[in-house]
Structure 1
Amino acid sequence: MRRSADFQQTVRRGARGGRDTLVVHLTTSTDPGPPVVGLVVSRAVGNAVTRNRVKRRLRALVTARLGDVPDGSLLVVRAQPAAARSSSGELGRDLDRALTTARRRLTGRDEHRAPA
């Protein structure tokens, strides 16, 4: 994902799943192709070296999980400052949980609702 408009659309209209280290925004598009991913790592995460390290780790983790993201999806992963101090294992667990939450919200299911 490269265009600012795509990031804005995904963040504003997408389903959100958040954790201490990252926030995931997921939405669908009309394009039936593979998922499109964008990463946001702001200066709040750290200096340039730290931000690039976080981006590399997130890129590898997201690539390994693209099979779990529906085709035609737009996905934005936004790193929180805690991501700089987290291990790759912790980032992976948080990414899995955030993706699960965002997918559930995107499909309109809520597992926490009491049965009717």
Structure 2
Amino acid sequence: MLPAPNRLTDSASFREAVRGGRRAGSRTVVVHLWCPDSPTVADEDPRVGFVVSKAVGVAVVRNRVKRRLRHLAREQLSLLPGRCTLVVRALPAAAGASSEELAADLGRCLSRVTA
């Protein structure tokens, strides 16, 4: 579970990250990272949100994918600078991927957008 300050909940922030942020994709996930330029928010925590559509599978499968991604993203929070907004969108291949594959794809995408 992500701590409350690290959860992305409002749709405006999702939209802002997806439309204005940097993007990197893999077979199982697409990562959008948006970091504001304002220096006043540098001390705040990064926020993470997840998008898992019905294309991934039925509700049980979507929730399992979301739980696995949430666990993997929690481990990566220390790599995110300041008050960045991270949106992780699961692709249909994420339903059949192992945790190791998801971890590798998420790590690779994060390293591309933070570089």
1:22 matched to 2:33: no
What is the distance in 1 between the residues matched to 2:89 and 2:71? 14
- Please give the TM-score of this superposition, normalised by the length of structure 2: 0.88
Paired letter, 1:13:
G
Between structure 1 and structure 2, the one with the greater Rg is 1
Unmatched 5+ stretches in structure 1: 105-116
**Which structure 2 residues correspond to residues 19-98 of structure 1 after superposition, within 5 A?**
19-29=26-36, 30=38, 31-32=41-42, 33-98=44-109
Superposed CA RMSD in Å reads 0.8
Cα offsets for 1:9-61 (capped at 9, x unmatched): 00000000100000000011343301000000000000000000000000000
- Please give the TM-score of this superposition, normalised by the length of structure 1: 0.87
What is the distance in 2 between the residues matched to 1:87 and 1:68? 23
Paired letter, 1:6:
S
Unmatched 5+ stretches in structure 2: 1-7
Displacement of 1:103 in angstroms is 1.1
Would you say how many aligned residue pairs link Structure 1 and Structure 2?
104
Paired letter, 1:11:
V
Identical columns (%): 51
